[in-house]
Amino acid sequence: MNGTLSIFLANVVATLFLTGLIWMVQVVHYPLFDDIGDQNYIRYQQRHQTNITYIVGPVMLIELATAVLMVWYPMDSIGQLSIYLGLGLVVLIWSSTAFIQVPCHEKLVLGFDPAAYQWLVQSNWIRTIAWTVRSVIVISMLIRVLSESTNGSL
């Protein structure tokens, strides 16, 4: 397997993993925040922030790095528009995380704040939709790459 294909496959795996994870967070995890209760809420938020970072952080870094590397080392069967659109979505996801979701979590770690909670749940749709669109893009790229490989050009 060549390096360019390895970069691409790492990007596909990271994106699909993160898409599944964000849907679980959006539909299951975040909606439960308001059911925790005052007594345990701060500890719960602290543990959430620490534990989720161990899962999400490395995979987001892999997705970002491989999306950038795909710009520098494109595969012939993948169009530049798909590559740049995918990278743009990664930038949108990172921006939303840094400027919207992280500040919400920083407020919530001090105690349950209904406004911060509502904004977190609503604004997280930005990442949920962006990762879903990225998944569609990387799956379409994968289909093109596999189609090329069946023609013997990989």
The angle subtended at Cα 49 by Cα 48 and Cα 53, nearest 5°, is 110
Please write the tens of the pLDDT for every residue from 3-61. 999 999 999 999 999 999 999 999 999 999 989 988 999 999 999 999 999 999 999 99
Tell me the pTM: 0.93
Residue 127 belongs to what domain range?
3-150
How many domains are there within the chain? 1
For residues 96 and 91, give the distance between their C-alpha atoms in angstroms, rounded to a whole number: 8
Q: Token pair for residue 94?
A: 């990172």
The answer on pLDDT for 104 being more than 90 is yes
